[in-house]
A and B are shown apart, each in its own frame.
Chain A
Amino acid sequence: MEQVAVETRILKKNDDYARENRERFAQQNLAVVNFLSAPGAGKTTVLERTLRDLSTRIRTAVIEGDLYTTLDRDRIAAVGVPAYQITTGTCCHLDAKMIAKALAEFPLNGIELLCIENVGNLVCPAEFDLGEQLRVMVYSVVEGADKPRKYPLMFHQAHAVLLNKMDLLPYSGVSLQELRENVLAVSPDTVILPVSCRTGEGWPAWTEWFTAAIARVRSGAPACV
């Protein structure tokens, strides 16, 4: 019997791919954002509206991740932004190798911003570094005030948390103050931005923060000030 000291990260392979992705993004001076949420929180709708506002000023491309269908790619393409769909089959998250494979097929020449919409899931995607510099979580207020405490890791990993569907807050029975408090408990430095894609509430604050964050990471600075 031989005892072998290993001391290796279980996700070392993913980390290696993520590092290669990150180096490639830096060489291209590309800002890369990982959008995370539960299914149905409004990631694609947030992206559609954000891209309508920003894509005339910032050359943007999108990688979509879903278990099945190319519905989200088609929605993004309808906004006039190049989009690539990864269908994971049964896999509940994107990993860095899937992104590396997509990059081989999806030309990003001249692109300044790459948005990656992860598979809708509050747990698994938080554990897989894709090589991105920025993580934005979309959380709909109707999911309740308690979820940051129940799914702390994803909130903790996010540089910004959009509290989406603010137009539904009056019907939800959710206390915005309690929700904010729970987000800040697990992620004290996270930027919290209440928005509604439908009414435009909070939208200028989000696009202002996002534009500044993109500029920061493209200049090699940390994602948050």
Chain B
Amino acid sequence: MHEAGIASSVLEIASGLAVERGPDATVAVVRVRIGEFTGVACEAFEFAFESLRDDNSRCAAARLEIERIPLRGECSLGCWSGAPTEPFDLRCPACGAAVAILSGRELEVASVDVNLNHAESSCC
């Protein structure tokens, strides 16, 4: 259950961007990418984000958008690429060799929408 720590890091990154943009700037939207092959459960992450944002004056009204990135890989011997045929089975379905991961390990903040003043925030 480290989703709280992950959410806290996301809020810190987002609020830092608002702080850089002036005393009235606040965060409207935070977009993150969470890979399928990470230890992060999206529902728990959303819950942690919603719980923790209330304590963060720059992010109190922030909306979280999660893009879930599927696990994809390619055979280390080059004969196959794609999504595993069985969940998290990282053997090449063609030859049995190890599959190198191409995507699915992402834990990233993609972009953040910042309201530059409170008036803008309240009218949205």
Using a CB–CB cutoff of 8 Å, the interface residues on chain A facing chain B are: 1-13, 91-93, 123-124, 126-128, 149, 152-153, 156, 184-189
**Residue A123 contacts which of B5, B39, B91 (CB distance < 8 angstroms)?**
B39
Are B120 and A8 interface neighbours, CB within 8 A? no
Interface size class of B (residues with CB under 8 A): 35 or more
Contact with A along B90-124 (1 / 0, CB 8 A): 11000011110000000111111111100010001
Q: Which residues of A contact B6 (CB under 8 A)?
A: 10-11
Are A185 and B90 interface neighbours, CB within 8 A? yes
Give the secondary structure class of B's interface.
Answer: mixed
Q: How far is the CA of A5 from the CA of B17 in the complex (A)?
A: 10
B32 → A minimal CB distance (Å): 7
Q: How far is the CA of A27 from the CA of B43 in the complex (A)?
A: 42
Are A153 and B39 interface neighbours, CB within 8 A? yes
- Answer whether residue B51 sits at the interface, using C-beta atoms and an 8 A cutoff: no
- Answer whether residue B80 sits at the interface, using C-beta atoms and an 8 A cutoff: no
Would you give 7 A-B contacts (Cβ < 8 Å), ordered by A?
Answer: A4-B17, A10-B32, A11-B6, A124-B1, A185-B86, A186-B88, A188-B90
Are A1 and B91 interface neighbours, CB within 8 A? no
Among residues of A, the one whose C-beta sits closest to the C-beta of B96 is A188
Are A6 and B89 interface neighbours, CB within 8 A? no
**Residue B108 contacts which of A7, A13, A152 (CB distance < 8 angstroms)?**
A7
Are A10 and B13 interface neighbours, CB within 8 A? yes
**Residue B39 contacts which of A12, A126, A189 (CB distance < 8 angstroms)?**
A126
A143 → B minimal CB distance (Å): 17
A129 → B minimal CB distance (Å): 12
If A2-B113, A4-B111 touch, whether A184 touches B91 (CB-CB below 8 Å) is yes
- Answer whether residue B2 sits at the interface, using C-beta atoms and an 8 A cutoff: yes
Are B108 and A127 interface neighbours, CB within 8 A? no
Are A6 and B88 interface neighbours, CB within 8 A? no
If A6-B112, A10-B107 touch, whether A186 touches B89 (CB-CB below 8 Å) is yes
Q: Which residues of B contact A91 (CB under 8 A)?
A: 2, 5
Are A11 and B107 interface neighbours, CB within 8 A? yes
- Answer whether residue B40 sits at the interface, using C-beta atoms and an 8 A cutoff: yes
Q: Which residues of A contact B32 (CB under 8 A)?
A: 10
Among residues of A, the one whose C-beta sits closest to the C-beta of B27 is A4
B91 → A minimal CB distance (Å): 5
Q: Which residues of A contact B28 (CB under 8 A)?
A: 1
- Answer whether residue B59 sits at the interface, using C-beta atoms and an 8 A cutoff: no
